[in-house]
Chains A and B, each alone.
Chain A
Amino acid sequence: MNDILKVGDQEFNSRLFLGTGKFSSTNAMIEAVKASGTELVTVALRRFNRDQAEDDLYGPLAELSNVKLMPNTSGAMNAKEAVRAAMLGRELSKSPIVKLEIHPNPHHLLPDPIETHEAAVELVKQGFLVLPYIPADPVLAKRLEDIGCAAVMPLGAAIGTGKGLSTAEMIKIIVRDANVPVVVDAGLRAPSEAACAMEMGCDAVLVNSAIAAAEDPAAMGAAFKTGVEAGRMAFNGGLMSTSEVAVASSPLTSFLSNND
């Protein structure tokens, strides 16, 4: 079945986006990326340090075919810094895709909606495909769509908490109203939660900690791949409606008791 995800002019067969942070080694990350089937991975920017050259992921990721890079703006405390980070990321990725994230408070890492909106306006103007990481706020999601963001990425729970789809009701509203892809970003812990997000009609999920912090990241990458695919297939298949009363699956004709 032709079920391509389009983000701006970019097309993806996989609806699982992967973060590359927190892995125990570059090799573990690469194996998880391969096992997950992802075609879009996030990367962060850090100051060059020639004594830590092994942390430079440009080379290892460039060797993967079919995987695009999405630089994030992590570390930006405000719109101005985020725009600058996005421009630097584009210099390396040679691609307009950017994950816009501005979360100034290290205790909860929740996105700053006002700075995010301001940065998104500027980045769209500069020709970026902007995928903003946002609170699960339907009004903000719509405003970001209106100013030209290529997708919206509401959080399921706070980054790295593994608390799952704690914002499910708000995400349902975002999905119902959105005309751009909705990507659940942050908070997922289990592949079943990714499947649940996809069943709700989300267009993709972005997962990092759940895979990077798993005992076997490659196995968890494969599990999330299957979870995302199952959820998407279920959404396309059309879930049955619920009922307040039991509805029998087998015929209830009483042929056993009427033959006395």
Chain B
Amino acid sequence: MAQQVPIVSYLRLDPAPHLSASECTSCGARYFDRRNACASCFGSDFKHVELPTDGTLRTYTIVTAGGTGIIAPFVSAIVDCGGTSVRGNVVNIEPTSEALRLGMSLTLTTYSLGRDSAGTEAVGYAFEPAT
């Protein structure tokens, strides 16, 4: 099987796709980026925590004018995954305010961004309505 690389380092592909946060070991604040220290308590020790793949729709917008190279419309959302907010697109749903409901159940999904010259596939993540 060809190699895969996640779109961002907080997307973990093994053993099954899930999102991972850096959690401050002193105060529990969670982050998705590379950290220098904790913005909440100034601590500098972090551990990786796995987020649930199910969540609820906290808020969203439907971006109609996406700018250069951006495929619009798309639904950008903040999804509450077990108390941790995550930003991502909502897919496999009509991008309309009628179809989207605040509080609706969503689940993590992945999609291919294509392969590079070495045959490595980049994998993105999004959320879709839970079945």
Judge: A and B partners, yes or no: no
